[in-house]
Amino acid sequence: MKRLIINADDLGYDNGVVRGIIDLHRAGLVSSTSCMTNQPAWPLAAAYLRDHPDLGAGVHLVMNDGFPLLPPERVPALIGADRHFRNDLQILRSLRAGTTAQLRAEFRAQIERVRAAPYADGRRVKVEVDITPFRERPNLEIAIRSDTGDIIATASAIDVMAFHLAFTLHLRGGGDAGPGYEVVVLLYYDDPLAPQDRRQAPVAPASPPAEPDSAR
């Protein structure tokens, strides 16, 4: 039996587009959408996607409409004096060394900061990861290593949609987190040729993390 997939483009462009796609999805007429994450109504769109995982979502890469997600100084070849993206012809005329790198940076996330602190019981660690704004949703692999180099806790996050993420990892093996323990975070994409980023940080006691509503 043949199946028809109807995709609705430009989710996030404005409130009207988002509400229209939501209505079509609720009516069973649309099962897929592509997202414009630099547009004004993206927060509304992202909230709906989080609550409706049955709506397939891809990314509509944008480099000629609206504002970039990265600061202007990171993408000077892509924007004009008003800090809007240039139009197609202007971008072609501005091509020079580094322009394609700026495009890749605008489309891909990178890890900005990793923090890890044990809870008071010593058996759990709160890991926080900050990543740059992005349009292609990345995946994360997180591991905690003991002072002997053993992996004692792991977590994965697929197709993340937030720029700040927090995880509670439960330690295996009966020991408590202490000096020499570290967390390692790998950011990657499904495309094996896509850039990857890796950061590590010590598991450092700080003010005890607030108890989570539920462990992730």
Long-range contacts made by residues 69-72, C-beta under 8 angstroms, separation at least 24?
69/37, 69/38, 69/106, 69/132, 69/133, 69/134, 69/135, 70/105, 70/106, 70/132, 70/133
The encoded tokens of residue 112 equal 């900005």
The pLDDT of residue 195 is 66
The residues pairing with 129 across neighbouring beta strands, listed in sequence order, are 114, 165
Residues of the chain with pLDDT under 50: 214-216
Which domains does the chain show, CATH number per domain?
7-107 (3.20.20.370), 111-202 (2.60.40.10)
The pLDDT of residue 209 is 52
The pLDDT of residue 40 is 87
Question: Using CA atoms, how far apart are residues 149 and 173, in angstroms rounded to an integer?
Answer: 13
